[in-house]
A and B are shown apart, each in its own frame.
Chain A
Amino acid sequence: MKKLLMATAALALGATSTFAETKIGMITTLSGGGAGLGIDVRDGFMLAIEQSGRDDIEVVIEDDQRKPDIAVQLADKMVQSERVDILTGIIWSNLAMAVIPSVTAQGKFYLSPNAGPSALAGQGCHENYFNVAWQNDNLHEAAGAYANSAGYSNSFILAPNYPAGQDALTGYKRTFAGELAGEVYTQLGQTDYAAEIAQIRASGADSVFFFLPGGMGISFLKQYADSGVDLPVVGPAFSFDQGILQAVGDAALGVVNTSQWNKDIDNPTNAAFVESFQAEYGRLPSLYASQGFDTANLILSALDKAEVSDADAFREALRAADFDSTRGEFKFGPNHHPIQTIYAREVIKEGDVFTNKIIGTALENQADVYAADCKM
């Protein structure tokens, strides 16, 4: 809300300038169980907007409460009555599926700072839809590749039963060369994994892969650590991000996870981002915050070249991705999803704070397999 007021104040100040206004609508999860993710995306995004010093950009922020129906209502409101030019912010793939096809069909631009469902990367791709984070499968493909290099040959895999969960298991299976000891879909929002852990124990697996974002991952890791099953665990960064590691505690130490970003990626943009984020908000940034930051900087870089009203020129400017990313090099594939390097990180303890350290590269210049189906 404070940010919103600042943006409005900036708008009032800039009223005399000759700039055309750009209005950005952000729909993200700010309350309920998944709020930490949305708050990080928002804070990263607003940090970049503030640092740009531009006073001709207005950001309207709304809370979707992680509910698809509310996200759809907010999107309608933003497009029809707020008349925003660009939308962004959605965290969850099921919400993304409900909103993105309809707003891009209405001629608006949508830049995803997180969700990258496979359906929107292949046949359902759209010239006005850009994903700045990843295609959902990417981090899981990297986890599969890491599992190969670590010598695992028999994995037990589990994920929640929703679009991103299905993408996760598909992604892991695509790169993992070994056998599957078991494959389980859990309920979205499930908090007790005793039954699944018992199955893992009985399965004879030599490793466990799981995708359980947010609070689900906290529950799983704590229960897993207490169960006496001591198989190595790999997963994507979503259960090991800065926001939840402190709540998992020692149970996460030493676990290897895959991410396209970490705070120790060595480039000036990233160093400045980590430092300024900590100074502004008093906590370490997560990968979600880096994605919000990159999304805002991509928009800013395109606005420097073209106005949103000139849709073709603006789209070209976005496609060029001519901005300094916290990940270093950044480029889009033909379906407007990133082609990027994905790292393997390990959970460590720095003083009293649990955080991640890069231990190697899992996949280099990884694109997604759906790009071939995309005709735009």
Chain B
Amino acid sequence: MSTLLIIEQVLNGLQFGVMLFLMAAGLTLIFGVMGLINLAHGSLYMIGAFAAAAVAGATGSFVLALAAALAVAAIAGALIEMTVIRRLYGKAHLDQVLATFALILIFSEGTRWLFGSFPLFLDIPDYLSGPVTLPGGIQYPLYRLTLIAVGLLVGLGLWALIERTRIGIQIRAGENDREMIAALGVDIRLLYTLVFAIGAALAGLAGALVGAIQSVQVGMGEPVLILAFVVIVIGGIGSIKGAFIGALLVGLTDTLGGIFLPELFKLFMEPGAATQTGSALASMAIYILMSLVLIWRPTGLFGARA
């Protein structure tokens, strides 16, 4: 196993991690500020990808497609917040899970009704396709480097929004004491809709960015949603910083685990069995990581202490 391969795999892990972060950031904000478990977050990811594929198909412009993904997902998010989610804030988590699970089914079948059951085409634009050679002779796809950059920029922007702006102060205040900030004259309903729309837009962006290298199909959001939940549990619920660190940890563990565990087993097993056992264990690696973190810190890495 060469150093080059290891560096390339670390880049892959980072890229996977920052995309997970886009999903997890919205999820953790919504859970932290509103106390709501939103299973339909994966549907917003799918909506972003489908909006991007439709617009890219009609106009041929990837930038417009990304803009459409952001806008459509944000609007869809704001709409479901105002019609469905708003009724769930005071309710038990079980009601929230049931209602948002229903939303998954509605969005999946709605998308199938609109676009059909076959996957849609969304490709990387020409100016971002193909590999570039990094220092040290590593060949790496330019698009994946772009994803890392976009993810880091969004992360930075989100941090600035939360820490440096008035809306950010209100969001943080809402997390700590929602009655008090309502009493101080902040329109809490508008704030909640806004937070939900920001989370939705981030999920939509992730869906569109990832959709270009994967397949745009109904149900694409659910596997990512599960990982995003693992990320926010590891990072500590409600913490953007936690979501960032958690996402990178999960991305790296998943990618590197998939490579090194089979290699490790090959040291003392015959290759066929080693790949099978190694792969099986690698798919558990992030859950093992989650349990270890929870044993060490029951509220996650950056979660509020009870």
Looking at the assembled complex, report how far the CB atom of A63 sits from the nearest CB atom of chain B, in whole angstroms: 11
Task: Tell me which of A35, A191, A199 contacts B214 (CB under 8 A).
Answer: A191
A184 touches B108 (CB 8 A): no
Q: Which residues of B lie under 8 Å from residue A243 when comparing CB positions?
A: 118-119
Task: Tell me which of A35, A161, A186, A228 contacts B130 (CB under 8 A).
Answer: A228
Q: Which residues of A lie under 8 Å from residue B193 when comparing CB positions?
A: none
Looking at the assembled complex, report how far the CB atom of A118 sits from the nearest CB atom of chain B, in whole angstroms: 15
B255 touches A33 (CB 8 A): no
B279 touches A199 (CB 8 A): no
A252 to B87 alpha-carbon distance, docked (Å) = 47
A198 to B141 alpha-carbon distance, docked (Å) = 11
Cβ of B216 < 8 Å from any Cβ of A? yes
B258 touches A195 (CB 8 A): yes
B220 touches A191 (CB 8 A): yes
Cβ of B12 < 8 Å from any Cβ of A? yes
Q: Which residues of B lie under 8 Å from residue A32 when comparing CB positions?
A: 108, 218-219
B279 touches A161 (CB 8 A): yes
A223 touches B213 (CB 8 A): yes
B8 touches A161 (CB 8 A): no
Looking at the assembled complex, report how far the CB atom of A323 sits from the nearest CB atom of chain B, in whole angstroms: 28
Looking at the assembled complex, report how far the CB atom of A108 sits from the nearest CB atom of chain B, in whole angstroms: 28
A35 to B218 alpha-carbon distance, docked (Å) = 9
B118-159 vs A: 1/0 string, CB under 8 Å? 111101100001110000000101011000000000000000
Q: Which residues of B lie under 8 Å from residue A216 when comparing CB positions?
A: 215
Instruction: Say yes or no: A184-B16 contact (C-beta < 8 A), given A198-B8, A202-B5.
Output: no
A187 touches B283 (CB 8 A): yes
Looking at the assembled complex, report how far the CB atom of A200 sits from the nearest CB atom of chain B, in whole angstroms: 11
Instruction: Say yes or no: A33-B8 contact (C-beta < 8 A), given A185-B279, A249-B121.
Output: no
A195 touches B12 (CB 8 A): yes
Instruction: Say yes or no: A226-B16 contact (C-beta < 8 A), given A32-B108, A215-B220.
Output: no
A32 to B117 alpha-carbon distance, docked (Å) = 8
Instruction: Say yes or no: A247-B120 contact (C-beta < 8 A), given A33-B217, A226-B130, A226-B143.
Output: yes
A217 to B223 alpha-carbon distance, docked (Å) = 16
Instruction: Say yes or no: A194-B16 contact (C-beta < 8 A), given A183-B271, A185-B279, A222-B213.
Output: yes
11 additional A-B pairs beyond A31-B108, A191-B220, A194-B144, beta carbons within 8 Å, are: A30-B117, A36-B118, A183-B272, A201-B139, A215-B119, A218-B119, A222-B215, A223-B141, A227-B139, A228-B141, A248-B121
What are 8 A-B interface contacts by the 8 Å CB criterion?
A31-B218, A35-B218, A161-B276, A161-B283, A192-B12, A192-B16, A198-B5, A215-B220
| Nearest 3 Cβ contacts at the A-B interface | A228-B131, A218-B215, A247-B119
